[in-house]
């Protein structure tokens, strides 16, 4: 997946876009967001193109969630421009983003704990049947669809009627991801989707990201794990203290450089050195986040 | 956040067909325990207990006419308890619901009489006013983000004052003039306050309306998008918003639904008694809220049913009339209610803890 993508997308960093084909579905130009007097985001450029995975990386509090909340319609930007299909927009509700085919897995998952799993899956986009005064939920179809989508993710639930609050954190996350994958027609935004997941489910999520790209969706993938990012990403943006520190195509950066950027370069080098002394680790093979926590 | 209440009752899942892969760790709890865990089953048992108690303690209760009377009392509480319950499931309160009934009745009575128009003009105007009050309550709650307790405490006080002052101003009295001789009165009375004969017993039409509204509310709550949204905005409104539920619309329309209920009961009172006392209605809002809570609606929102408050209202109607039939001092009514409310809440809590223990 590396060489081909890098070649096709290598040349589109300029502002002059061709009229068709590669025009970004979603684009931020010099965008920023202030919460009162806290400037959470400033001067950020980002483009999401069909069939391309844009990874957003950065420390805790760097502004990643703020960035995607602008795109998903939860917050509004206070500076710069936000374009969908080349047209400037100001989403006031997430409904507007969803109607444009932009679906999001939020970091806090956005589920209603007391409601059954299947109702959560379809919340806000319920399937109905029947003419107006008697239009009602198509419960059977919704349950069936939810069950299928969850099984595809490797999640098997005995009872879709149980309140989602009784599921484990990772199971809840899978429901949120399956939901976004199901409803994201054009752009899929994932805010740290693998944070609470097991190895198998993380793998499934990465596969989903790759599959979404094959289907021609634009994907924004937020993660702390550069290995995960590098496995599926076509473009990498690193945020630091609310500004874009790095924005690079896959062809322009190696995994090691990316990891260095994320960890603040020299600090990680020092850490690596220490670790190699303690454990005799192979310094060339960079430990990823999971290895570090495993210590 | 309590995991012991079920947000979603009565929808039985189709058994997963075939040799599909199953998790297999779910141990089926006994059917009885699962049933008992449903708040509306608890309140049904409570209502049955109160009924049996009065059957024994007050022999007149056994007659058909008494039963019709008890159901009538229940229906006037129950019709309002329904929208109040839906609003509670949606995560909000309306403390102005009691006086709003009187506001609606006063509006219809005075507009009809003072402008000597057909009563239907007053009835429609009252509907507009009631919906507008509901809209304002909901709009203020949604826009300010303040607790609805505060907003509607304000509107409760405002309406209470306006009811008294405007009535005094217009009629020079504490009650409105008798409208029973006006055009359209008998028509409107048919709709809101008539009776019909069932085997020699006079049955009030509000009982029919009550059950019709309860059936519609149950269907809407469990089988429609809007019902889904009610649970969602009460359960977690930020999550609901994030997945595209129109939170403001849902909440405001729920307040307007309470307005509709207030209008309906207001019209019933007007066409039953021909005049309206401007000082009434205070304290009724707590009766409605209690009926909803006894009916298993979660005070913090996100869980409940429409059928539970029907039994809740029946318990209230039963006690209210039962005390009279038993020949006791009716002053005991409120004390009885308080005991029932506490009892119901405690029993519900205990049953659910036992039945849903994980
Ligand atoms: N609703 C809010 N009100 C005020 N400040 C906020 C709000 N949301 C976020 N912030 C601030 O904006 C900054 C960026 O937050 P954001 O949630 O975007 O970080 P993040 O990159 O997603 O971090 P993490 O990796 O921990 O999820 C933080 O300093 C945070 O305190
Ligand atoms: Mg975040």
Question: How far apart are alpha carbons B159 and B161 in whole angstroms?
Answer: 5
Whether residues A249 and A269 share a domain: the answer is no
Q: Give the pLDDT score at A209.
A: 87
3-state secondary structure B241-288: HHCCCCHHHHHHHHHHHHHHHHHHHHHHHHHHHCCCECCCCCCHHHHH
- Please give the residue of chain A at the shortest CA–CA distance from B25: A158
Q: Give the pLDDT score at B24.
A: 62
**Does B203 map to a domain?**
yes
Whether residues A143 and A289 share a domain: the answer is no
Burial of B139 (0-12, 13-18, 19+ CB in 10 A): middle
Question: How far apart are alpha carbons A130 and A136 in whole angstroms?
Answer: 6
CA–chain centroid gap for B260, Å, is 11
pLDDT digit of tens for each residue in chain B (358 aa)? 333 444 343 333 344 444 455 666 666 667 777 777 677 787 888 889 899 999 999 999 899 999 999 999 999 999 999 999 999 999 999 999 999 999 999 999 999 998 877 899 999 999 999 999 999 999 999 999 999 999 999 999 999 999 999 999 999 999 998 998 888 999 999 999 999 999 889 999 999 999 999 999 999 999 999 999 999 999 999 999 999 999 999 999 999 999 999 999 999 999 999 999 999 999 999 999 999 999 988 888 898 999 999 999 999 999 999 999 999 988 888 888 888 888 877 876 776 676 555 4
Checking ipTM against 0.85, whether it exceeds it is: no
State whether residue A101 sits within 8 Å of chain B by CB.
no
* CATH assignment of the domain containing A114: 3.40.50.300
Count of domains for chain B: 1
**Does A4 map to a domain?**
no
User: What's the CA angle centered on B55, arms B53 and B57, to 5 degrees?
Assistant: 65
Question: How far apart are alpha carbons A58 and A61 in whole angstroms?
Answer: 8
**Does B10 map to a domain?**
no
User: By percentage, how much of chain A surpasses pLDDT 70?
Assistant: 82
**Does A9 map to a domain?**
no
State whether residue A74 sits within 8 Å of chain B by CB.
yes
- A10: helix, coil or strand? coil
Q: Give the pLDDT score at B25.
A: 66
- Biggest CA-to-CA distance, chain A: 73
Question: How far apart are alpha carbons B81 and B83 in whole angstroms?
Answer: 6
Q: Give the pLDDT score at B352.
A: 63
- Atom in ligand 1 nearest the alpha carbon of residue A59: 25
In the numeric block, which tokens belong to residue A34? 């202030």
In the numeric block, which tokens belong to residue A220? 């924004």
Contacts of A113 in chain B (CB under 8 A): 1, 3, 235-236
Q: What is the pTM of this model?
A: 0.86
Helices (H), chain B: 31-36, 39-57, 64-89, 97-114, 119-144, 148-171, 185-193, 205-223, 225-235, 237-242, 247-273, 284-294, 307-325, 333-355
Parts of chain A with a pLDDT under 50? 1-19, 283, 287-295
Q: Give the pLDDT score at A173.
A: 84
Whether residues A200 and A290 share a domain: the answer is no
Question: How far apart are alpha carbons A74 and A68 in whole angstroms?
Answer: 9
**Does A190 map to a domain?**
yes
Q: Give the pLDDT score at B343.
A: 83
- Biggest CA-to-CA distance, chain B: 78
Q: Give the pLDDT score at A75.
A: 93
Strand B201-204 relative to strand A79-84: parallel, antiparallel, unpaired?
A: unpaired
User: A246 lies in which domain range?
Assistant: 21-253
Contact A164, B232 (CB under 8 A): no
Q: Give the pLDDT score at B356.
A: 56
- Please give the residue of chain B at the shortest CA–CA distance from A143: B13
């Amino acid at each position: 997946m590396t060489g081909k993508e890098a070649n096709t997308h290598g040349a589109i960093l300029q502002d002059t876009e061709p009229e068709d084909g590669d025009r970004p579905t979603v684009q931020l130009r010099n965008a920023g967001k202030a919460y009162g007097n806290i400037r959470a985001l400033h001067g950020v450029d980002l483009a999401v193109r069909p069939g391309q995975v844009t990874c957003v990386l950065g420390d805790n509090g760097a502004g990643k969630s703020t960035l995607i909340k602008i795109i998903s319609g939860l917050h509004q930007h206070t500076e710069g421009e936000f374009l969908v299909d080349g047209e400037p927009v100001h989403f006031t509700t997430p409904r507007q983003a969803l109607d444009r085919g932009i679906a999001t897995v939020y970091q806090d998952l956005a589920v209603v704990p007391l409601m059954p799993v299947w109702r959560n899956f379809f919340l806000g986009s319920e399937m109905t049947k029947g003419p107006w005064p008697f239009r009602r939920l198509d419960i059977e179809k919704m349950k069936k669809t939810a069950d299928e989508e969850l099984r595809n993710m490797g999640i098997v639930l005995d009872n879709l009627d149980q309140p989602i609050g009784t599921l484990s954190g990772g199971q809840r996350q899978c429901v949120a991801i399956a939901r976004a994958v199901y409803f994201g027609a054009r752009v899929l935004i994932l805010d740290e989707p693998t944070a609470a997941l097991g190895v198998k489910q993380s793998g499934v999520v990465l596969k989903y990201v790759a599959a979404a790209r094959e289907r021609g969706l634009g994907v924004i993938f937020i993660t702390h794990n550069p290995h995960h990012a590098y496995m599926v990403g076509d473009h990498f943006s690193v945020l630091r203290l609310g500004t874009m520190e790095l924005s690079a195509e896959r062809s322009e950066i190696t995994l090691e450089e990316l990891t260095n950027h994320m960890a603040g370069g020299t600090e990680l080098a020092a850490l690596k050195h220490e670790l190699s002394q303690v454990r005799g680790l192979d310094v060339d093979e960079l430990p990823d986040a999971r290895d570090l926590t495993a210590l | 956040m309590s995991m012991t209440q079920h947000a979603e009752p009565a929808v039985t899942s189709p058994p997963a067909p075939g040799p599909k892969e199953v998790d297999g760790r779910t141990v089926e709890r006994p059917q009885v325990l699962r049933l008992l865990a449903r708040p509306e089953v608890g309140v049904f048992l409570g209502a049955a207990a109160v009924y049996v108690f009065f059957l024994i303690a007050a022999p007149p209760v056994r007659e058909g006419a008494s039963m019709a009377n008890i159901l009538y009392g229940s229906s006037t509480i129950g019709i309002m308890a329904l929208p109040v319950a839906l609003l509670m499931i949606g995560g909000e309160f309306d403390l102005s619901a009691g006086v709003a009934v009187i506001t609606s009745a006063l509006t219809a009575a005075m507009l009809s009489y003072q402008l000597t128009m057909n009563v239907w003009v007053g009835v429609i105007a009252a509907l507009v006013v009631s919906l507008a009050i509901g809209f304002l309550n909901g709009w203020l709650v949604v826009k300010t983000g303040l607790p609805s307790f505060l907003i509607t405490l304000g509107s409760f006080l405002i309406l209470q004052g306006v009811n008294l002052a405007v009535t005094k101003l217009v009629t020079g009295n504490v009650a409105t003039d008798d409208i029973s001789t006006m055009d359209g009165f008998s028509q409107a009375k048919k709709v809101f306050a008539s009776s019909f004969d069932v085997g020699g017993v006079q049955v009030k039409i509000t009982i029919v309306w009550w059950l019709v509204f309860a059936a519609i509310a149950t269907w809407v709550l469990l089988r429609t998008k809007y019902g889904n949204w009610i649970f969602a905005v009460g359960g977690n409104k930020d999550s609901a918003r994030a997945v595209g539920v129109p939170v403001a619309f849902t909440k405001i329309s729920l307040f307007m639904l309470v307005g509709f209920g207030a209008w309906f009961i207001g019209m019933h009172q007007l066409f039953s008694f021909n005049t309206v006392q401007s000082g009434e209605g205070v304290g009724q809002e707590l009766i409605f809220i209690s009926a909803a809570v006894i009916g298993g609606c979660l005070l913090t929102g996100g869980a409940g049913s429409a059928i539970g408050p029907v039994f809740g209202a029946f318990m209230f109607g039963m006690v209210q009339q039962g005390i009279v039939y038993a020949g006791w001092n009716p002053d005991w009514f409120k004390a009885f209610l308080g005991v029932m409310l506490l009892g119901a809440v405690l029993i519900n809590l205990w049953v659910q803890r036992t039945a849903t223990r994980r």
